[in-house]
Structure formats: structure tokens, C-alpha cells
């Protein structure tokens, strides 16, 4: 919580980034010292990420809401968890999440490891009563013993909450989408983006979009931003943005109301619907709303189309995903 408060304290509501630093997306993500990335850990993490047996009903996995066959989320306004329940927020993309300084819309997790622990025991999402129950279940699945031992050694008990979340995080750090048209353009290929996309990039800088959506992942320096900055009763009646108090739901501090993690713009063309509550179905509408609610600007249709074209240039190359073979429980169910 201290880290969250420090980040909020550091935020500048009007940034000084008047120009966009031309940074291509890195092809690898840094790993913490206590969780170096290894092939064995990534393979185990991939299994756990796609295994619905980490949910109480055996029907929901991490991949259910963060689909790596698509844009890294589920294209729903609100994700569906166990027993058909839905929460109040739209699933953020898992692609390039390794470059977020904080995770979740309200930034309550400061690492991928911490994020991986949350949904499993959330009663609406995956619904397990505790991580002790998760570990106990994994221990009944014989094939997981070998996978955990390969990833973490055989000296001590390896099937633990800590190791499970480390493995999932290690897998997620491989989910990077480099080589977008924008990346190629900033590396010197001036033909990689067309004229409309270049106009849109320049307009985004001119308007101030990149004050918040900066850096190679277009997700800012890892701080929070208030949304909406310029309240508008007409739009609020349609989209109910302020119903969710954002970071204040975590800190219980009134000063944190409507503060949200700055989301990445990478692959944004693939992640409709938009905003924290998934209330806006199209990218052009989202662009116009952001201009009005954050910058108090009214965008023309032409400028909007140019910015949307630029945002499409941020769709990267997706690494090929092969589905893991999950360890079975021959002759019995997992319960």
C-alpha cells in the first residue's frame, strides 16, 4: 500500500511531455531478482494460466478473461467469472503487461506475481476459498509435481502459492508484441506508417495524449491519472464512468477517487470495448471521449480518424502461442 501511495503522490496531472520520445517496444521484459525467467518456469506458468481447475467450478482460467489467442482480454464490457458472475470492470490486456509498473485498473498489485494471486481467490472471478485450497488441489494432480520440480528444484516442497504465482508471472513476461508499424517507423523505416498514421501520431502529441500515454508501452511512467479530468454530466449519464472510484476502492482515501492506472495503448485496436468499465464499444468514440474528458478538446471527425489510424499502427506481432497439455487425473475428477 505504501508503494501505491508513493505513486499517487508522484503523479503530475499536467505533464511536461510535450513531445513523444520515439521508443520501440523492447523484445524482452526484465524479471525480478527472485524470479528469473527459465524455460521450465514459463512452461509451468503456461499450464497454470490455462488450467480452469484453478477455479472453484473448474470452468474459469486466467485465459478465460485474458485470451492470448486474441488481444489478451475477452472483448466483454465486464468479464465473466465462476457461475456466470460478472464484475464491474473490463479485463485489461495481458499482452505487454510486463511493462506495467502496477497491475489492475486500481493498481493494487505492484508486480505480475502479486497480480497472479488475486483473481484465483476472488469470489466473482475464479472463486477458490483460499490459496491453501488451490495448493491442495494441485498436489492431487500428479503431473504437476514433476512440472513444479523441474521449475523450482526438488530440495523442498515446490507446489506452493509463491511458486505458482512466480510461474504464471514468468509466462506472462513472454507475452510481448514488438515490431508494430510504429516500432518499425521509429527504428528508421519511414514507409512503415502511412501518411494518415503519421498525422495521427503528430495530432496525439499536439493534443497532449502522450503526457500520460508515454514510453515504449504508451502506458506512462507507472503512475495513476484521474479520470475523468473534466466531468461531463451528459457523458456520465451515458457511460457511468464515476461509479467506480478507482484507487480509492483500495486505499479508502477520498483523495484517490477516480484515480486509475494509465493503460497501455499497445494493441488497443484489438481490445474493445474501452475504459475501465467497458462502456464504450468503438475506438473512435473512445478517442473523442478521451479528448473531451481528459483534455477538454472537441475533436473533428478527421482528427479522430487520424488518431485511430495511428493507434492501429501500435498493433504488434504476436508471438506464436501453443496450448499446453495439462496434467490429467486418470480415472477420477479433480475434486
Q: Specify whether the CB–CB gap between 273 and 75 falls below 8 A.
A: yes
Q: Kindly report each contact of residues 238-244 with a partner whose C-beta sits within 8 Å and lies 24 or more positions away, as own/partner.
A: 238/279, 239/275, 239/277, 239/279, 239/280, 239/289, 240/277, 240/279, 241/275, 241/276, 241/277, 241/279, 241/293, 243/88, 243/277, 244/88, 244/89, 244/105, 244/276, 244/277
CA atoms within 13 A on the CB side of 71: 22
> 116, 141 in Cβ contact below 8 A?
no
In this structure, the dihedral spanned by the alpha carbons of residues 287, 288, 289 and 295, taken in order and rounded to 10 degrees, is 90
Q: Which positions are annotated as active-site residues? A: 125
Q: For cell 497472479, what's the residue?
A: 116
SS3 of 146-211: the string is HHHHHHHCCCCCCCCHHHHHHHHHHHHCCCCCCCCHHHHHHCCCCCCCCHHHHHHHHHHHHHCHHH
Question: By C-alpha distance, which of 244, 128, 106, 43 is closest to 117?
Answer: 128
Q: 3-class DSSP state for residue 261?
A: strand
* CA 123/CA 121 separation, integer angstroms: 6
Amino acid at each position: 500500500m505504501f508503494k501505491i501511495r508513493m505513486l499517487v503522490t508522484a503523479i503530475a496531472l499536467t505533464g511536461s511531455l510535450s513531445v513523444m520520445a520515439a521508443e520501440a517496444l523492447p523484445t524482452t521484459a526484465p524479471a525480478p531478482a527472485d524470479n528469473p525467467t527459465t524455460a521450465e518456469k514459463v512452461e509451468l506458468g503456461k499450464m497454470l494460466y490455462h488450467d480452469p481447475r484453478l477455479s472453484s467450478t473448474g470452468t474459469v482460467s486466467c485465459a478465460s478473461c485474458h485470451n492470448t489467442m486474441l488481444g489478451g482480454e475477452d472483448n466483454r464490457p465486464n468479464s465473466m467469472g465462476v457461475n456466470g458472475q460478472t464484475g464491474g470492470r473490463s479485463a485489461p490486456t495481458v499482452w505487454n503487461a510486463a511493462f506495467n509498473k502496477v497491475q489492475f485498473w486500481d493498481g493494487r498489485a505492484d508486480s505480475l506475481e502479486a497480480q497472479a494471486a488475486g483473481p484465483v481467490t476472488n469470489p466473482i472471478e475464479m472463486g477458490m476459498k483460499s490459496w491453501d485450497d488451490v495448493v491442495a488441489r494441485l498436489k492431487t494432480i500428479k503431473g504437476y509435481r514433476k512440472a513444479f520440480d523441474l521449475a523450482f528444484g526438488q530440495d523442498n516442497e515446490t507446489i506452493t502459492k509463491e511458486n505458482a504465482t512466480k510461474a504464471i508471472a514468468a509466462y506472462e513476461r513472454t507475452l510481448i508484441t514488438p515490431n508494430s508499424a510504429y516500432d518499425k517507423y521509429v527504428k528508421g523505416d519511414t514507409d512503415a506508417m502511412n501518411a494518415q498514421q503519421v498525422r495521427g501520431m503528430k495530432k496525439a502529441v499536439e493534443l497532449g495524449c502522450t503526457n500520460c500515454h508515454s514510453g515504449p508501452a504508451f502506458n506512462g511512467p507507472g503512475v495513476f491519472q484521474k479520470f475523468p479530468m473534466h466531468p461531463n454530466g451528459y457523458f456520465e449519464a451515458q457511460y457511468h464512468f464515476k461509479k467506480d472510484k478507482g484507487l480509492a476502492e483500495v486505499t479508502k482515501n477520498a483523495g484517490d477517487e477516480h484515480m486509475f492506472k494509465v493503460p497501455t495503448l499497445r494493441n488497443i485496436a484489438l481490445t474493445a470495448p474501452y475504459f475501465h468499465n467497458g462502456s464504450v464499444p468503438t475506438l473512435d468514440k473512445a478517442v473523442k471521449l478521451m479528448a473531451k474528458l481528459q483534455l477538454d478538446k472537441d475533436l473533428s471527425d478527421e482528427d479522430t480518424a487520424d488518431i485511430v489510424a495511428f493507434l492501429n499502427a501500435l498493433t504488434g506481432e504476436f508471438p506464436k502461442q501453443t496450448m499446453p497439455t495439462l496434467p490429467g487425473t486418470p480415472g477420477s475428477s479433480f475434486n
